[in-house]
Amino acid sequence: MSEPVQTPQTFSTRIFSGIQPSGGMTLGNYLGALKRFSELQDRGVETIYCVVDLHAITVWQDPSKLRHQTREIAAAFLASGIDPKRSILFNQSQVTVHAELAWIFNCVARIGWMYRMTQFKDKAGKNAENSSLGLLAYPSLMAADILAYKATHVPVGEDQKQHLELTRDIAIKFNHDYGVNFFPVTEPLIEGAATRVMSLRDGSKKMSKSDPSDQSRINLTDDADTIAAKIRKARTDPEPLPETAEGLATRPEAKNLVNIYAALSGQSLESVVAEFAGAQFGSFKPRLVDLAVEKLGPITAEMSRLMADPAEIDRILGNGAARAEAIARPHMDEVYDLVGMIRARR
């Protein structure tokens, strides 16, 4: 489906990414996404970041918890270095273009594309007929998030790769159906040592905010003692750390902890392996605890400071929404025109 298209119209570099407020933030979200979001901002490119509350309600959310979680994710963005002056930070539902463009894309995308999404299959489980229609159409809204801004690059963890391929397919089909080069064919940015942080209890499962076991993940709200206890109990194997990174290939739990260390310290996997070659996990884990507490402690503290003033978070999200709307609305007006909708002056 994803054949390259000719794009005579050039698109200037613009980064967009989003995080769902469907629970607290995990170390996986931090290393796979948040940490890289602020690195991109600091490189000086245009960055737009969104707390995707409309996506969250594709599965049931208690309204008051959703409000709390939306503010908490916004606090996590700010605490990890997102500067609301240099980046645009807002929550999705405040910019109605997302929902409007998603409807257009629902009419461009094919149902079969949606049924093929592994995240839909995982989340819908055995009783797919009983899942919300929104859960099936989820990737169409995600494409709208990105393309409302004509974003060219999307930093995400590995688990979002298939959704981004679908975003590309939607852009290509829209451009083809309407005979235009209106939307860019977005590039995913899936880079670094921690594109897939795994559960601390099972090296074959990704670390996730929806895992029933809290021991499986480190939350950005965990205190130092909790982080230490979770890492101490993290599953490993009895072997010492290998001499080379290849020696981790068949040891998923060991590899995960080494990857986490590499991502937190900003080193490559190879250099961490070289540093700890031959060490037992009994000596590696306390080093990992120290590093995790050193890096995450200030973020957790800043998050709780910000959460003490929810009105200030709401103000930041409102300002961000106004700036986001100013970019997205003219694009949406052009889309309505391309599709053949009458827009009468009122």
**Alpha helices (H) in 250-341, listed in sequence order:** 252-265, 269-276, 281-307, 310-339
Contact 48, 12 (CB under 8 A): no
> Where on the chain is the footprint of ligand TYM (CB under 6 A)?
16-20, 28-29, 32-33, 52, 55, 142, 145-146, 154, 156-157, 159-160, 163, 194-197, 206-207
Catalytic residue list contains 209: yes
CB of 328 to ligand TYM, least distance (A): 13
| Residue (190 or 273) nearer to ligand TYM, CB | 190
Contact 84, 312 (CB under 8 A): no
User: Residue 219's beta-bridge partner residues?
Assistant: 26
| Residue (102 or 108) nearer to ligand TYM, CB | 102
| Residue (154 or 264) nearer to ligand TYM, CB | 154
Q: Which amino acid is at 64?
A: S
Angle at 208 between CA 205 and CA 211, to 5 degrees: 85
CB of 54 to ligand TYM, least distance (A): 9
CB of 333 to ligand TYM, least distance (A): 22
Tell me the CA distances in angstroms from 304 to 13, 22, 150, 336, one per residue in order. Answer: 34, 19, 34, 43
Among residues 65, 161, 173, 209, which one is catalytic?
209
Shortest-Cβ-distance residue relative to ligand TYM: 32
Angle at 162 between CA 156 and CA 168, to 5 degrees: 90
| Residue (158 or 312) nearer to ligand TYM, CB | 158
| Residue (62 or 344) nearer to ligand TYM, CB | 62
Catalytic residue list contains 230: no
Burial class from Cβ neighbours inside 10 Å (0-12, 13-18, 19+) for residue 95 reads buried
Tell me the CA distances in angstroms from 110 to 6, 136, 140, 173, 295, one per residue in order. Answer: 23, 11, 10, 10, 44
Catalytic residue list contains 123: yes
Structure tokens that stand for 19 in this block:
């995080």
CB of 295 to ligand TYM, least distance (A): 16
Among residues 65, 123, 161, 173, which one is catalytic?
123
Q: How far apart are CA 63 and CA 85, in angstroms?
A: 29
CB of 280 to ligand TYM, least distance (A): 26
CB of 203 to ligand TYM, least distance (A): 12
Q: How far apart are CA 35 and CA 191, in angstroms?
A: 12
Tell me the CA distances in angstroms from 90 to 47, 102, 163, 271, 312, one per residue in order. Answer: 12, 18, 21, 38, 13
Among residues 35, 150, 206, 230, which one is catalytic?
206
| Residue (146 or 292) nearer to ligand TYM, CB | 146
Catalytic residues: 123, 206, 209
